Amino acid sequence: MNLPRIPIGEAVDSGVDWITTNLAAFLDAISDLLSFLVNGLTDLLLIPPEFVAIVLLTLLAVAMRSVTFGVFTLIATLLVASMEMWEMAMETLSLVLVATVIALVIAIPLGILAARKNAVSTVVRPVLDFMQTMPAFVYLVPVVAFFGIGVAPGVCATIVFAMAPGVRLTELAIRQVDKETVEAGEAFGGTPGQILRGIQLPLGLPTIMAGVNQVIMLALSMAVIAGMVGAGGLGSEVVNGVSRQDIALAFEAGLAVVVLAIFLDRITGAIGQPTGKSVPALIRRKRAESARRQADAEQAAAPQSAPSTTAA
Amino acid sequence: MPAIEASGLTKVFGRRPQRGVRMLREGADREQLQREGLTAAVIDATFEVKPGEISVVMGLSGSGKSTLIRMVNGLLEPTAGSLTIDGQEVTNLSDAGLRDVRRNKVSMVFQHFALLPHRTVGENAAYALELRGVSRAEREQRAQEALGMVGLGGWGDSLPSQLSGGMRQRVGLARALAAGTDIMLMDEAFSALDPLIRKEMQDQLLELQSELGKTILFITHDLNEAMRLGDHVAMMRDGRIVQSGTAEQILNEPATDYVAQFVADVDRTKVLTARTVMERPVAVVGPDSGPRAAHKLMREHQVSSLLVVSRDRTVHGLVWEDDVADAVRQGSEALPIKSDDVIRVAPDTALAELFHHAAASRAPLAVVNQAGRLEGIIPRVTLLSALSPHQSNGNHGDAGADSGDDTRFAPAGAL
């Protein structure tokens, strides 16, 4: 039996054609903007000499997470530098950061909206499923048609591919905030905005950060694939390694991606759920401890002048 | 004017709930609504809470009590009926109007505390004021005061996670107190606490209430708690209020079998107080009367002891039959008053405690208020009969020689 063929592919194709011919100016503007952002950020990241940048990243790791992670960062970034992948790594980093920021700017408000309105959630969910499961390579075709070869199609494909978990986890984060606590906000006369800012976002932060983390990881994997359309960075090196059968190059570029991935993952993870082992946290705890000890000493010195405040 | 007044308050959950209200008016019951996919959570609830009173709504889970309390501050919009707070109808208010009511008139304490874990205790206590836009200095000061009232002074900089359950709920209470509203809604506020802490919190609430005179609507599934706290108790079942009245009324005159069954398990010795079982003394004697007058009174009323009470109802002591008889025989003019033999109890002493006192003396217990004035007496037999659920009320009980003749209470009669 022959089913009549439904020309979905052709429809999408002619849709893409229509956009490229009719919205050329708009696409050019976007392309210019994205290239400007990514190249600008790359230049910025490359201003400090490698070793200065490595020290800065290590300090960031120590401040955000722990001394152990700082040691890892130091060794891993030195490794990247010694493989002569530093410039490419920074290109990829800026592509990932730009794509992530744009994806989150769209995803978080959309997630909040979906959490509030079931109708939005119902519409958004299948779209996200589609975006996330469509094979990543497929995105490369239309974006190349839109933007040609370069950074812009890479960023665009990355945004589309990476956005879904941002929306999903933001929606989940808002929905799973303890109902009673939200009620408390309402019961004391909070406006929806006050409740969102004061209760839902802070309490949902760990989950939202898990979403951010996912977005970054997906962006990183897509950024490598985007190397195929000339997005530059480590992706291009991987593609070169594959096409030239250069195992050494491919592996080294791949290793740099891994270092980047681990660094970004641990840093964003620490924002969502502080480890308590970061250096500022350690200092704070030391201080609190000594303050407590001092208070105890004072209390012991004058026991009768300090009646228990907890007495019922 | 009642602080809260509800009439015909109904909440139906489901699609197009109005048809549920129509069905209920036509006499349909909850099950019929359920078949239509509607849940009638609260049906035709009519009640009022007077200013400065603790009103308790008591019911098991699913009885609609949580829905009821949430309609009072508009967290849930009633499907039908009216609700006024300080005379202002709140069912038809806009979002902004409703926020205004919540900010200025009604605060709430939650079962699981609903504190913000990322903020300090002080910031939590100040939360209501922060929403209202009160300046930082003022709200910190008021939060500090409120924390002091609940016994958490000095804990302002801790995080809620560093506190025990009881202390967390004190923060919840302080948050509501700092809001400064006259009305406080308490949704199973102490149910998540363990029994000892719960009792402590109940005591504290009663204390705060007598100090501050807040109007409190308290929801609970614990009948003992309801009886202990409530000036007024409403029993809910299947969305309807089945009986409302004072704790004693519900205990002694249950309106339905359900209520009767419910209160059967109540420890009456903990709910009933000296005030509820005391009776007017059969006779008392003035401190200046002679032994003869006392002797005559004792013979008339066939009692073995008499309280000695002056005109302003100050209790001086009591006289025993034997001593009076001796005094008469010896022709003494002074009453042989034994001031230490009188056991004085406060009106709000629980029955359970009275037993302990009653065992110590043959004479009836004297119920004395804070000013030291006599309010009534409790003979042992009254104490025992109060325990029986079939007794309508101790005051009218078949209690020994008491004939319930009020005129004989005044000491003047014995002088």
Q: Nearest chain B Cα to A183, which residue?
A: B75
Find the closest chain B residue to A180 by CA distance.
Answer: B114
User: Mean pLDDT for chain A?
Assistant: 89
Buried b / exposed e along B273-294 (16+ C-beta atoms within 10 A): bbbbbbbbbbbbbbbebbbebb
Nearest neighbour of B116 by CB, restricted to A199, A309, A310: A199
Residue B9 has pLDDT above 80, yes or no: yes
pLDDT the model gives residue B396: 40
Q: Which of B100, B106, B114 sits opposite A184 (nearest CB)?
A: B114
Q: Which residues of A touch B131 (CB under 8 A)?
A: 185, 188-191, 194, 198
What pLDDT does residue B231 have? Answer: 87
Specify the pLDDT at position B267: 74
- Give yes or no for a contact between B47 and B82, defined as CB atoms under 8 angstroms apart: no
Which pLDDT score is estimated for B53? 92
Residue A195 has pLDDT above 70, yes or no: yes
B176 CB burial (10 A radius; 0-12, 13-18, 19+): buried
d(CA A60, CA A270): 11
- pLDDT of A306 strictly over 80: no
Judged by average pLDDT, the poorest of A49-63, B188-202, B309-323, B380-394 is B380-394
* pLDDT above 70 (res A308): no
Rounded to an integer, what is the distance from CA A289 to the centroid of its chain?
A: 35
Q: Looking at chain A, which residue has its C-alpha nearest residue B125?
A: A188
Q: Residue A158 CA to chain centroid, in angstroms? A: 11
CA distance B154 to B156: 6
Between A123 and A148, residue with greater pLDDT: A123
| pLDDT of A312 strictly over 50 | no
Chain B: residue nearest A187 by CA?
A: B102
Stated pTM of the model:
0.74
Question: Which percentage of chain B shows pLDDT scores above 90?
Answer: 36
Helix, coil or strand: residue B314: strand
Which of A183, A186, A310 is closest, CB to CB, to B151?
Answer: A310
User: Per-residue pLDDT averaged across A259-266, rounded?
Assistant: 92
Write down the pLDDT at residue B287. 84
DSSP label of B273: B
pLDDT in tens, B102-133: 999 999 999 999 999 989 999 999 999 999 99
pLDDT tens across A129-182, in order?
888 888 888 888 888 888 888 889 999 999 999 999 999 999 999 999 999 999
Tell me the shortest Cα–Cα distance from B115 to chain A, in angstroms.
7
Which of B103, B111, B154 comes nearest A189 by C-beta? B103
ipTM here: 0.72
* DSSP annotation of A245: T
CB contact under 8 A, A188 and B185: no
Q: Are A202 and B115 a contacting pair at CB < 8 A?
A: no
pLDDT at site A310: 45
Interface probe, candidates B98, B116, B181, B199, chain A, greatest A C-beta count within 10 A: B116
Tell me if A202 and B107 make a contact (CB, 8 A cut-off): no
Residue spans of beta strands (DSSP E) within B72-224: 80-85, 88-89, 106-109, 183-187, 215-220
- Please give, rounded to a whole number of angstroms, the shortest distance from the CA of A312 to a CA of chain B: 6
If you average pLDDT over every residue of chain B, what do you get? 85
Distance from CA of B122 to the nearest CA of A (A): 15
- Neighbour-count burial of B208, counting CB atoms closer than 10 A to its CB (0-12 exposed, 13-18 middle, 19+ buried): middle
Answer whether A203 sits within 8 Å of B116, measured CB to CB: yes
Residues of A with CB below 8 A from B112's CB?
A: 178, 180
Q: For residue B133, give the nearest of A191, A199, A203, A180 by alpha carbon.
A: A191
* Chain B interface disruption, residue of A118, A177, A188, most B CBs within 10 A: A188
Inter-chain CB proximity A187 and B132 less than 8 Å: no
Cβ-Cβ contacts under 8 Å between A and B: the total is 77
The pLDDT value recorded for residue B337 is: 85
Burial of B35 (0-12, 13-18, 19+ CB in 10 A): exposed
The pLDDT tens digits of the residues spanning A13-50 come to 888 888 888 888 889 999 999 999 999 999 999 999 99
CB contacts of A296 in chain B (<8 Å) are none
pLDDT of residue B42: 93
Whether B175 sits inside 8 A of A187 (CB atoms) is: no
Interface test with A, best of B67, B72, B99 (most A CBs within 10 A): B99
Chain B residues whose CB is inside 8 A of the A310 CB are 151-152, 155, 167
Closest residue in A to B123 (Cα–Cα): A198
CA distance B314 to chain A (A): 33
- CA closest to B74 among chain A residues: A187
B397-415 residues labelled b (16+ CB within 10 A) or e (exposed):
bebbebeeeeebbbbeebe
Q: Give the relative orientation of helices A86-116 and A24-46 as an angle to the nearest 10 degrees.
A: 120
* A88 token code pair: 């490419």
Task: Using only the alpha carbons of chain B, give its radius of gyration.
Answer: 26
Mind giving me the DSSP string for A267-291? HHHHHHS--S-SHHHHHHHHHHHHH
CA B141 to CA B151: how far, in whole Å? 15
Nearest Cα of chain B lies from the Cα of A188 at a distance, in angstroms, of 5
A309 and B99 within 8 Å at the Cβ level: the answer is no
User: Nearest by CB to A309, which of B106, B153, B200?
Assistant: B153
| Pairwise pLDDT comparison (B48 vs A281), residue with the higher score | B48
Q: Measured between alpha carbons, how far is B147 from B207 in angstroms, rounded to an integer?
A: 15
Q: What is the dihedral of CA B154, B160, B161, B164, to 10 degrees?
A: 70
Q: What is the mean pLDDT of residues B35-49?
A: 91
Nearest CA distance, A6 vs chain B (angstrom): 39
Strand stretches in B203-357, DSSP E:
215-220, 232-237, 240-245, 284-285, 305-309, 315-320, 344-345
Give the model's pLDDT for residue B392. Answer: 45
What string of DSSP letters covers B346-374?
A: -TT-BHHHHHHHHTT-SSPEEEE-TTSBE
Best of B121, B127, B205 to mutate (most A CBs within 10 Å, chain A): B127
Res B400 pLDDT > 70 = no
Q: Do B151 and A183 touch (CB under 8 A)?
A: no
Residue B401: pLDDT above 70? Answer: no
- Beta strand pairing status for B305-309 and B284-285? parallel
- Could you report the per-residue pLDDT of B247-284, keeping only the tens digit for each? 888 888 888 888 888 888 777 777 777 877 888 887 88
Give me the pLDDT at residue B48, please: 92
Å from A191 to nearest chain B CA?
8
Q: Report d(CA A182, CA A203) in Å as an integer.
A: 10
Question: For the segment B201-225, what is each residue's pLDDT rounded down to a tens digit?
Answer: 998 999 898 889 999 999 999 888 8
Residue B341, pLDDT > 60, answer yes
Chain B residues contacting A, CB < 8 Å? 70, 73, 75, 99-104, 106-108, 110-112, 114-118, 127-128, 130-132, 151-155, 167, 175, 179, 185, 200, 203-204
Determine phi and psi for B28, rounding to 5 degrees.
Answer: -70, 155
Model confidence at A75, pLDDT cuts 50, 70, 90, reads very high
C-alpha to C-alpha distance for A197 and A182, rounded to whole angstroms: 11
Q: What is the CA radius of gyration of chain A?
A: 25
- For residue B273, what are the contacts with CB-CB under 8 A and spacing of at least 6? B347, B348, B349, B350, B351
The pLDDT of residue A307: 44
Which positions in chain A touch B152 (Cβ < 8 Å)?
309-310
What whole-number distance in Å separates Cα of residue A108 and Cα of residue B341?
Answer: 77
The predicted-structure confidence for B230-247, as pLDDT tens digits, reads as follows 889 999 999 999 999 988
Nearest residue to A195 via CA among A177, A172, A209: A177
Put simply, the answer to whether B131 touches A185 (Cβ < 8 Å) is yes
Angstroms from A190 CA to nearest CA on chain B = 6
List the single residue in B with minimal CA-CA distance to A178.
Answer: B114
